[in-house]
Structure 1
Amino acid sequence: MPAFQAKRFRPSNTAGATLGERIGIKYRANLNKHPFLLFGLPFIGIMLAGSFLLTPATALRYERHDRRVQQVSQDEAMGLGLKGTHGDEESQIKRNPRRRVIGSEREEYYKLMAKDLDNWEQKRVQRFKGEPDGRF
């Protein structure tokens, strides 16, 4: 008995192969010769087509989210410090004058500039009992 059998492990490329197998064999053989044409170009085409097809779906998603955010009920408006006036079906939202308004960015900037940031002292934080404080 010979060391190797005469029977091949893989089926031969004969007429017995299915159409899909024959197309796959030809594709793999030509892929080495023309890699961009057979792999890169279809990949880029699928990415571009997907981008154009998903754009309307994404826009719809954000429009629904915006509509949901704009629909603030009267109770929620009162809880947020907003004051609603009853009018048509849609109530107009106005700011509650009693709510404290934080100063503008310019005022905050000048408050920070007024502080003396050059003269400061480092203070250790009080540790809990048994917690290491990092001293040797």
Structure 2
Amino acid sequence: MPAFDSRTFRRATTASSSLGERLGTIYRSRLPRHPFLLFGLPFITVIVAASFVLTPATALRYERHDRKVRQLNQEEAMTLGLKGEDGEETIKRNPRRHIVGSDRDEYYRLMAKDLDDWEQTRVKRFKGEPDGRL
């Protein structure tokens, strides 16, 4: 008589086995025959449903952050005198033009430098700060 039986072990179904155990057994037995229907489709459904649920939550988070930043900017403008008492801006400016202009100026300034002739210098350290030398 062999030491191990060649048949797979199946626990006898008893009246005490719960509904969850029976459903789990049925699911595991049918999974190899229909893998996409029983695993792939529910997985894809959960991913798509989660994206629809998380999109409004993320939008709410960014709207709340924007509201807080806008409030701080209005308070700073009032303290710096950029806005009058009626809320109108006293200084008209185009922030986009300012950024584009500074980037362009910085680009031309860097292009005018001679990058082949330079010298490496050590930065002065504060008193008591280690300088990395042994």
Alignment of 1:55-94 (within 5 A): 55-72=55-72, 76-77=76-77, 83-87=82-86, 91-93=87-89
- Output the amino acid matched with 1:66: D
The equivalent position to 2:133 in structure 1, one of 126, 131, 136, is: 131
Gaps of 5+ in 1: 1-9
Alignment of 1:29-40 (within 5 A): 29-40=29-40
Alignment of 1:1-136 (within 5 A): 11-72=11-72, 76-77=76-77, 83-87=82-86, 91-93=87-89, 95=91, 104-123=102-121, 131-132=133-134
Residues of 1 paired with 2:103 and 2:116: CA distance? 23
Percent identical residues = 57
TM-score norm. by structure 1 comes to 0.65
Equivalent residue pairs, number: 117
Q: Judging changes above 3 Å, is the alpha-carbon distance between structure 1 residues 123 and 129 closer, same or farther for their aligned structure 2 residues?
A: closer
Residues of 1 paired with 2:18 and 2:52: CA distance? 36
User: Where is the strand percentage greater, Structure 1 or Structure 2?
Assistant: 1
CA contact (8 A) 2:84 2:90 kept: yes
Greater CA radius of gyration, 1 or 2?
Answer: 1
Gaps of 5+ in 2: 1-9
1:95: Cα distance to partner?
A: 4.9
Residues of 2 paired with 1:63 and 1:96: CA distance? 26
CA contact (8 A) 2:78 2:84 kept: no
Cα distance per residue 1:90-117 (max 9 Å; x no partner): x2445599xxx88622222221122211
Q: Judging changes above 3 Å, is the alpha-carbon distance between structure 1 residues 44 and 117 closer, same or farther for their aligned structure 2 residues?
A: same
- Output the amino acid matched with 1:112: L
Greater RCO, 1 or 2 (C-alpha within 8 Å, sep 6+)? 1
- Output the amino acid matched with 1:62: Y
TM-score norm. by structure 2 comes to 0.66
